[in-house]
Chain A
Amino acid sequence: MAFNIYLCGVGGQGIGVLAAALAQAASRAGLEVIACDTHGLAQRGGVVSSHIRIGADALTPLVPEGGADLVIALERLEALRGAAQYLKKGGKVLYYNTAYQPVGVRRGEGAYPSEEEVRLAVQGFGGEALNVNYPDMADPRMQNSALLGLVASLGAVPGLRAEIIEEVLKEIVPPAVLDENLRIFRAAV
């Protein structure tokens, strides 16, 4: 069976870079990878997602609903949404613990979930949720590196070692901000 990773976040958070780094690392580790980003209108502050499927029996790029072994989210509400729709029983949710309120919540039309609510909900889906947060981060786009660090430290993707992820990070991140990204990546490892 393929190992399925569903990545999600809010348009503008740079999920494409996170997904590209992880897919590239898996490929370099000798795993068979098929992946896909979803683009479109959602890039403007809506829900964005990327899909990575590892293993020879994955012929199509989208992770099936309820079929993700791993959900990686760049934001708390999206962690909950991604898990509700995609998490497989026994799967893991790794998310960056930051909150971007959707307009409905700001208009007083809905509630935004707390960390505890996300933890319990994911438990209800038969999975486990873990998060990271670095309050002193220089640029929110480095949240990607924090999540990659968490993936690496947990060995969350079978067959993918931390060193390979770090190697890819070094190639993808622009030189000017590489040191800071590596510091954040290694903090979790």
Chain B
Amino acid sequence: MRSLAEMMTEKEGFSELVMGNHALARAMAEAGTAVVTSYPGSPTPEIAEALLAPAEKDRPCHFEFAVNEKVALEFAAGASLNGHPSAVFFKSVGLNVAADSMVQLALMELLGGMVVILGDDPGANSSQNEQDNRWFARMAYLPVFEPASPAEVYVMYRAAAALALERRAPVILRLTTHVCHARETVKFGDLPARHDWTPRFDVKNGPYVPITTSVFPLKKKALEKLASWAEAGEKSPLNAVYKASAPGRRRLGAISAGLPALCLLETLRNSGAPVDLLKLGLTYPLPEKLVTDFLSSHDEVYIFEELDRVMETEIKALAYDKGLACRLHARRGNAALMGEMTPERARAALADVWPEPFPAPERRVFEAPAPRLPQMCPGCGHRSAFHAIKKALPPGAITVGDIGCHSLGFLPPYNMGEVLFSMGHSVSTASGLALNNGLRKVVAFVGDSTFFHAGLPGLANAAWRDSDVTLVLLDNGTTAMTGHQPRPGNGEIGERLNLADILTSLGVKFLRECDAYDQAKLAAHLKEAMDHKGLAVVIARHPCMLKFMRERRRANPGLKPQHVAVDQAKCARHYTCAADFACPSFIRHADGSVTVNPELCIGDGSCIQTCPAAAIGREK
């Protein structure tokens, strides 16, 4: 079994059981992609994990994280303008941030070609919505490749990158969560020679400034390029028909793409149903001739997709334009537009129109046991901060959350952060809530990575107009939620780019800082901040303890944390530790007693101060 570093640097081809994201990183290396950038977000961070695995001098691609998705995309585009094949990847909602520059890419001659990799998240496994980014591709005149499995991720990235380079064009590789995270055996090829870094930017390849008279020639070229992608799609082996094993009375067919196409195929094979499948890989622009031929040679065709009605809309329009007699079916109702597709959902969809070959399986439903919602880790500084802040807030206060591990504060028992739109929104949304509002205090939260990602413009605005908002900056020194990627200012917490310096220079007049474990001090700062008229910022700082403990355990595998213990003689059964502070390390027993789970307690001691009976102490 190869380590990730070996996978990325082995000169010759090999086969390995790998995750889609790791297959993609190897594909980048094999395709000669010189520059890759990203901002972290599930389902894509493991691509970076693989790219960063070899020692810096051995890495086949230059990789770096940017401060947000827009910056990442622009950085990759800049490299491509110089002739360096490039790629950028981020999660679904990341495209909203990157969109302002993304919509310009198709207008430009990108010498090195560029692959924009989108990690869409049907099912919202780790996102604040399940937006369907296929719409964006249409708006930006960008072709779309949609792989269904790790092996296809590998094949399609290589095809997409080669075509992008040849056409000096950007392309989209659209992944979904369980394509990124699926594992299967992939057969890899050889690595190319090292990249030539000669900068080849030349305005003669332009124009590159889409202003006044150049806008229309550039748009015309983008539209022509799009049409030529449609031609590529007609001939591409990525678009293929899977014939049913036996023909039926009526000629039935289905059209699908990506993982939903495999769900359909699995269902068709299990049922032996006489339904042919046209599976698209290069999905946009729609290969009209291929689709027309498929529709013409079938009596009925089911269009099966995930999330929005994108293919359905285009295929129906095509059938109308061509006057085709084929009867078209598609998913019905709003519920069909939600969540991920599975073989069972594919079966149910087909059974809706063709009941016979797709009988419903036996359904067994058992009562679900006690729910387990996600929660902050033992020792998390956010927990300590929320516990203190909750007690310090006056009645009627409005709390505005933001994105990160601290989003979990909205769950009981803290209920901190009652509104959430997107990364970095909190201070601006809070400013609106605070307008002409003399009655209710408005408190916003933001994490340190998000502060740099999209928080800065909102802060500049709030400081400039002096919004009557208290912002609590929860600084754990890392991008914790997505797996501890660095953020500007790392090295050590606060190094190089100093949060306090930035806030002061933006014009923040009220600023306090403390350790998030110091609950008395944090509560005092918060009260003072809320009394201050205008923008007040409190930095509550504590390193991410998950990261901290991992690093300590790596350095010292035998590490035994000094746990806390509940003194049973003193415990008055308030349950503040287990139910209000709610560290997962506490166990509440059926007999009413409380003890500490040694498997979970990291010995941080942030709970000791919370016990009204002073019954928690260090284990002797």
Contact = CB atoms under 8 A, between A and B. Distances in A.
B456 to A, nearest CB: 25
A40 B126 contact: yes
Q: Is the interface of B mostly helix, strand, loop or mixed?
A: loop
Contacts of B184: 33-35, 61
B500 interface: no
A34 B371 contact: no
Contact of B376 (A44, A107, A176): A44
A113 B558 CA distance: 32
Contacts of A171: 1
Given A41-B126, A64-B343, A77-B372, A84 B263 contact: no
Contacts of A139: 553, 557
A84 B1 contact: no
Contacts of A81: 368-369, 372
A100 B600 contact: yes
A84 B377 CA distance: 27
Contacts of A59: 262, 265-266, 269
B370 A24 contact: no
Nearest to A45: B375
Contacts, number: 179
A57 B269 CA distance: 8
A80 to B, nearest CB: 5
Interface residues on A, range: 35 or more
Contacts of B269: 57, 59
A103 B599 contact: no
A60 B262 contact: yes
A23 B42 CA distance: 22
Interface string A168-189: 1001101011000000000000
A119 to B, nearest CB: 14
A61 B184 CA distance: 9
Interface stretch (B75-83, B229-237, B575-583): B575-583
Given A44-B375, A99-B587, A174-B557, A104 B370 contact: yes
Interface in A8-27: 10-12, 20, 23-24, 27
B17 A24 contact: yes
Contact of B579 (A84, A85, A107, A111): A107
A39 B182 contact: no
A61 B185 CA distance: 13
A46 B342 contact: no
Nearest to B592: A108
B183 A35 contact: yes
B366 A57 contact: no
Nearest to B363: A66
A24 B1 CA distance: 8
Nearest to A1: B270
Interface in B352-372: 361-364, 366-372
B620 to A, nearest CB: 20
A169 B488 CA distance: 37
B491 interface: no
Interface in B260-275: 262-263, 265-266, 269-270
Interface residues on B, range: 35 or more
Most buried by B among A20, A45, A62, A89: A45
B412 A107 contact: yes
Nearest to B553: A139
Contacts of A64: 342-344
Most buried by A among B371, B375, B579: B371
A139 B588 CA distance: 23
A177 B553 CA distance: 11
Contacts of A89: 364
Nearest to B124: A40
Given A36-B178, A38-B181, A103-B584, A65 B579 contact: no
Interface string B322-338: 00000000000000000
Interface in A78-125: 78, 80-81, 84-85, 89, 98-108, 110-113, 121, 124-125
Contacts of B149: 34, 61
A138 B369 contact: no
A40 B42 contact: yes
A129 B159 CA distance: 48
A101 B342 CA distance: 31
B462 to A, nearest CB: 28
Contact of A168 (B1, B262, B361, B362): B1
Contacts of B19: 37
Given A40-B42, A57-B266, A84-B366, A46 B405 contact: no
Contacts of A112: 370
Most buried by B among A43, A62, A103, A108: A103
B372 A10 contact: yes
A155 interface: no
A64 B364 CA distance: 12
Contact of A84 (B368, B372, B373, B586): B368
Interface of A: 10-12, 20, 23-24, 27, 33-47, 57-62, 64-66, 77-78, 80-81, 84-85, 89, 98-108, 110-113, 121, 124-125, 138-140, 168, 171-172, 174, 176-177
26 contacts: A23-B183, A27-B17, A33-B184, A34-B182, A34-B183, A35-B184, A37-B183, A38-B178, A39-B42, A40-B125, A40-B177, A41-B481, A44-B405, A59-B266, A61-B178, A61-B184, A64-B344, A84-B368, A100-B584, A101-B588, A101-B597, A102-B372, A103-B413, A103-B584, A104-B370, A107-B575
Given A44-B481, A61-B181, A125-B366, 18 more contacts: A23-B17, A33-B183, A41-B374, A44-B376, A45-B375, A45-B376, A45-B584, A60-B266, A62-B178, A78-B372, A81-B368, A84-B366, A100-B600, A103-B584, A106-B579, A107-B413, A110-B370, A168-B1
